[in-house]
Chains A and B, each alone.
Chain A
């Protein structure tokens, strides 16, 4: 019943945005609906943690604690980004009056995007999940290209071609999983006695042919890894995340990449039963270390804030992959906490950058100076967000990173922890340097002409409602970091779905 309500709420907001032209009121109503969705997702999480997984629509939809957790993350980030979207779109309209039609389309696509992500985590069939994840690519392509300048076009072209290839590879992986299931224990099995859903795949996992599963899981990691921003097919991510409008970047960087990683986690559970833990561990270690290395080396030379944040997403997905490689229940729980913490903080940072783009007219690191002085609230949120992203206490990313590394060391992957720490130290130095420049650097001297260049934008006030919602987000992150008690049950029970 709860699953139906959640999907219906999301469908309702799609219908609402289709039927009415976007106005500020509609925007506010949509934010409220998204917040209601968040409340229902909390209810769902509570129900499955304290009871059995629930099904609906003839088992088409299925929610165990893992799906419920992902639903919670999706709804949380959606609510946050839809509040900011009102501010963003009002500002776009103020700049260009003829954008009305485009903005209405933007809102419809955003709501469809959220609906597709919810479908991806709530359907029981792996094939339907694949269709939902492919659908997210289709609807977000136009959102990435929303600004329709050359750079945005280039980003959306790269995005759709690379992600279609990635998701195509994941489809072959899915086919091979199914093919293995039709040859259970070496016998051909009739189609009507098996099905392509998680429960049935987990149940039959022991009888799947190991060689087929190796091939299939390799394709799954490569394919869904593409959409999760993991190497080697990560190159679309910095472009798409930096060119998309801020609320969309927040959704893409905050949840979309984690939804793809959710798919990898589910298949990992099946693979681990069929092959033992070593195979998925080796594969995730290779992908994770490669991504971490690439993200670190490319972060150093970044000149633009959104692009820098995008590379941070690759870094954090790499950390998540390494945590998942450790594979114990505690490690997976930390991975999930990291997905939540990173999603929240990354969304806040993208949104605050969007607000900075509105008030300051630029997001280039060299042109942003002394933000803390000029805009104390925005600068403060940005600074705190950056500290949270770097994994400092009291924010939840500290707890999750610490626990992931502890679990890695516990399963004999101490060398991985060592490499991770070295690379993270490099990132720490680079980011502190950039942030110091943005927040504290003195505003005198050669900077005076750039201030004159955008006098009208300087007058814009920081939006109060945006600041409040972002501060609430940061407080939640810190709160989860300090006392993870309300989440502990959910996290551990969700991790148990993966580790068995």
Chain B
């Protein structure tokens, strides 16, 4: 039972870090929180692996630790080092309102996903609402921030939410699918990094508000 408490604690941490990312404006702080969120996610996988003595889950946990704890934050950090802006100063919605939205998202997740059938049937399934909340907050970051780096962070928070939800079927999902998904995500982040660097060279500050060439 104590191991499940560790799982819940990690899931809570993952949710907390997504709120922290939404709250902070310093890009460095956002990247560190993202790394910590990745580590919290991998902790879930690893405790689950110990709990069920499932070798495959351990692999997934380890892979999450490497990718989401280190590789993604590192790739974003490289973009950050190239850029001149240190803070994301003008999100479309201010911090106070963002916090209110975040609490609404969390409530929606627990009311909607939390009430779906079979979700309360297994301690791990109960993490799905956490995942949905993380996902919505990530989407919110992606929509309301105008800096390239913040949008990258938002997208990865969104993907972290997905991996929490995929715990619903993780012990049954073929490893091929799991690794295929992670590999795709890795490629997306690498592509984003290349694009972000080009955009920084082209638009100086990487402020997407300057990109208005294609509006209707």
Contact = CB atoms under 8 A, between A and B. Distances in A.
B162 A154 contact: no
B195 interface: yes
A179 B169 contact: yes
Given A157-B208, A178-B169, A301-B216, A142 B203 contact: no
Q: Per DSSP, are chain B's interface residues mostly helix, strand or loop, or mixed?
A: helix
A164 B151 CA distance: 12
Contact of B166 (A137, A175, A211): A175
B191 A161 contact: no
A238 B158 contact: no
A125 B177 contact: yes
Contacts of A160: 188, 191-192, 195
Nearest to A142: B191
Given A134-B184, A135-B184, A148-B198, A128 B177 contact: yes
B177 A131 contact: yes
B191 A165 contact: no
Contacts of A168: 135, 158-159, 162
Q: Contact residue range for chain A?
A: 35 or more
B188 A164 contact: yes
A175 B199 contact: no
A21 B213 CA distance: 34
Contact of A138 (B162, B188, B208): B188
A171 B139 contact: no
A51 B166 CA distance: 38
Interface in B41-83: none
A141 B193 CA distance: 12
Contact of A161 (B113, B155, B169, B214): B155
B174 interface: yes
B180 interface: yes
A263 B188 CA distance: 21
A463 B155 CA distance: 44
Contacts of B135: 168, 172
Contacts of B216: 238, 298, 301
B195 A141 contact: yes
A153 B198 contact: yes
B177 A127 contact: yes
Contacts of B31: none
Given A151-B214, A301-B216, 13 more contacts: A127-B177, A127-B180, A130-B181, A131-B181, A134-B181, A134-B188, A137-B188, A138-B187, A145-B198, A153-B211, A164-B188, A191-B171, A215-B113
A191 B54 CA distance: 14
A160 to B, nearest CB: 6
B213 A150 contact: yes
Interface of B: 113, 116-118, 121, 135, 139, 142, 148, 151, 155, 158-159, 162, 165-166, 168-169, 171-174, 176-177, 180-181, 184, 187-188, 191-192, 195, 198-199, 202-203, 208, 211, 213-214, 216
A494 to B, nearest CB: 26
Given A128-B177, A131-B184, A142-B191, A179 B198 contact: no
A156 interface: yes
B108 to A, nearest CB: 13
Contact of A157 (B113, B159, B195): B195
23 contacts: A127-B180, A127-B181, A130-B181, A137-B188, A150-B213, A154-B214, A161-B142, A161-B151, A171-B166, A171-B181, A172-B135, A172-B166, A178-B172, A178-B173, A179-B118, A179-B168, A182-B172, A188-B121, A191-B171, A196-B174, A209-B117, A212-B118, A242-B214
Contacts of A178: 169, 172-173
Interface of A: 125, 127-128, 130-131, 134-135, 137-138, 141-142, 145, 148, 150-151, 153-158, 160-161, 164-165, 168, 171-172, 175-176, 178-179, 182-183, 188, 191, 196, 209, 211-212, 215, 238-239, 242-243, 298, 301
A307 to B, nearest CB: 8
Which 5 A/B pairs are nearest by Cβ-Cβ distance? A191-B172, A127-B177, A154-B211, A131-B180, A151-B213
Given A131-B181, A138-B191, A172-B162, A157 B142 contact: no
A220 to B, nearest CB: 14
A175 B169 contact: yes
B91 to A, nearest CB: 16
A142 B121 CA distance: 44
B213 A196 contact: no
Nearest to A178: B169
A145 B192 CA distance: 12
A153 B169 contact: no
A165 B139 contact: yes
Contacts of A131: 177, 180-181, 184
A3 to B, nearest CB: 19
A343 B151 CA distance: 33
B195 A145 contact: yes
A156 B198 CA distance: 11
A209 B118 contact: yes
B174 A127 contact: yes
Nearest to B199: A153
B118 A150 contact: no
Nearest to A182: B172
B161 to A, nearest CB: 9
Contacts of B165: 172, 175
Contacts of A135: 184, 187
B118 A183 contact: yes
Contacts of A128: 176-177, 180
B142 A141 contact: no
A71 to B, nearest CB: 21
A212 B117 contact: yes
Residue among A125, A153, A182 having the largest count of chain B Cβ atoms under 10 Å: A153
Nearest to A194: B172
A179 B125 CA distance: 10
B56 to A, nearest CB: 11
Contacts of A191: 171-172
Contact of A153 (B117, B162, B202): B202
Nearest to A243: B214
B188 A211 contact: no
A231 to B, nearest CB: 14
A165 B151 CA distance: 12
Contacts of B203: 150
Contacts of A175: 165-166, 168-169
